[in-house]
Amino acid sequence: MALPQSVPPEEPPAEQPPPGWRRARLAPSLAEAYQTVPVHGTSWWRKLLAFAGPGYLVAVGYMDPGNWATDLAGGSRFGYALLSVILLSNLMAVLLQGLSSKLGIVTGRDLAQACRDHYSRPVAMGLWVLCEIAIAACDLAEVIGTAIALNLLFGIPLTWGILITAVDVLLVLTLQNKGFRRLEALVIALVATVGACFLFELFVSRPDMGAVARGFVPDPDIVRDPEKLYIAIGILGATVMPHNLYLHSSIVQTRKYAQDAAGKREAVRFAFIDSTVALSLALFINAAILIVAAATFHRSGNTQVAEIQDAYKLLSPLLGVGAASTVFALALLASGQNSTLTGTLAGQIVMEGFLDIRLRPWMRRLITRAIAIVPAVIVSVIYGESGTARLLVLSQVILSLQLSFAVFPLVQFTSDRVKMGAFVNPGWLKALAWTVAVVIGSLNAWLLVQTFTEWLA
């Protein structure tokens, strides 16, 4: 009698990738923080508070030390005329960050993961290299800004200040271990510190409010005057940061929202409100830097002030308020430290997303910081203050070069109906997003050509 043969169990069918993507499931972005912030209650305000936080981490990149030089130069040379450029830059930022948060919420992929999933391996690797260069450049600006603040406040030599910035990795790691909400709380506290400092600066500088209001109205002379146009494009280039698009698409996933269509739609709406409010605060701070420069330096005839150290030295004597310079440096220190926190997260997200590997956070941070510290130390030793100021400008040029390589994929993905389904950008938004992408790419290309032409002259 033949024994019945055992039938091997059927293997479960392989999970199919969602429409428009090659991979079925990816490890969650920032796995240690993924969906760790619950969204409780049915009250609109309670939900708004639950979703509030990621926008402020993103807004930090729009008020980092790299923005200060362009805002100072614009205010000291042209008064309030370039306030309209800061407003336009902020509106572009609101649009792009809204698209970034929508990509993360709807697809469950951050921008780095989406690029790796969509493009060929050589293209994805090229995008990763460019993004790592941009993050190192951003870290360079943070290192220099923090070192300058330490020098102004405590007289610490620039070289030592640059080396001290390496220690902040311990602060970042401690906060990450305490929970994402505490990290957000510290960032919001530092943003509030910067805002309070510039409220004080605005009060003591007594700007012409009528001229301030007129400055927010676009002036055709900005396009006709080559010098105004150069600084205006510098402001645009320094405002929208490429690493922020990767960062935002990941950290919105820290909220534990429902994964159905209604839950995602609600999450997209609250994430947009969060980032818009936070970026409005960034608008205030950037505008305040330019307004203080206009009211203090332009009005007194000091139209060539473009470096942070010069602004610090002149503020108190020109305003007749002893605390003005100290408060200015305190705001710079808070700005630099804030950018350090968000830069760490962005670096982790980019490496995990593009390479699908994970380094220990302290190792990742030390590598990134070392890349920034080495050139900063060399330049500070050889060239001193003027060299670090030029290095700060160079970091913004590098960021401008990389920006389009983040903006164009973001607009492409969120405008793809197969990938986004019902959440795809409607026609008017698609047209607006592509227009902004082309404008940013063109202006940054022009800025790069002008900058290198000036350096070679």
pLDDT, tens only, 287-302: 999 999 999 999 888 8
The DSSP line for 287-302 is HHHHHHHIIIIIHHT-
| DSSP code, position 358 | -
CB atoms within 10 A of CB 225: 15
Q: Taking Cα atoms as reference points, which of 251, 405, 273 lies closest to residue 341?
A: 251
The predicted structure's pLDDT at residue 13? 54
Beta-carbon contacts of 416 under 8 Å, excluding residues fewer than 6 positions away, are 20, 424
Alpha carbon distance 405, 123 (integer Å): 11
Q: Which of 50-54, 145-149, 165-169, 196-200 has the lowest mean pLDDT?
A: 165-169
Please state, in angstroms and as integers, the Cα–Cα distance from residue 185 to each residue in 5, 56, 57, 116, 179, following that order: 64, 9, 10, 32, 10
Q: Which residues pair with 256 in a beta bridge?
A: 38
Query: Region 29-47: what's the mean pLDDT?
Result: 81
Most confident of 166-170, 270-274, 324-328: 270-274
Burial 314-350 (b: 16+ CB within 10 A, else e): bbbebbebeebbbbbbbbbbbbbbbbbbbbbbbbbbb
Q: CA neighbours within 13 Å on the CB side: how many for 427?
A: 0
* pLDDT bucket at 1, cuts 50 / 70 / 90: very low
| Predicted confidence (pLDDT) at residue 2 exceeds the cutoff of 60 | no
pLDDT, tens only, 383-406: 666 666 666 666 766 777 788 889
Sketch out the chain's domains with CATH numbers: 63-456 (1.20.1740.10)
pLDDT, tens only, 77-113: 999 999 999 999 899 999 999 999 999 999 999 999 9
The predicted structure's pLDDT at residue 308? 80
Please state, in angstroms and as integers, the Cα–Cα distance from residue 126 to each residue in 29, 103, 391, following that order: 21, 21, 24
The predicted structure's pLDDT at residue 415? 95
The predicted structure's pLDDT at residue 332? 85
Query: Region 324-353: what's the mean pLDDT?
Result: 83
| Predicted confidence (pLDDT) at residue 118 exceeds the cutoff of 50 | yes
What is the chain's mean pLDDT, rounded? 83
Most confident of 137-151, 186-200, 304-318: 186-200
Q: Which of 153-162, 253-262, 266-275 has the lowest mean pLDDT?
A: 153-162
Say what percent of the chain tops pLDDT 90. 33
**Cα first-last separation, the chain:** 97
The predicted structure's pLDDT at residue 333? 85
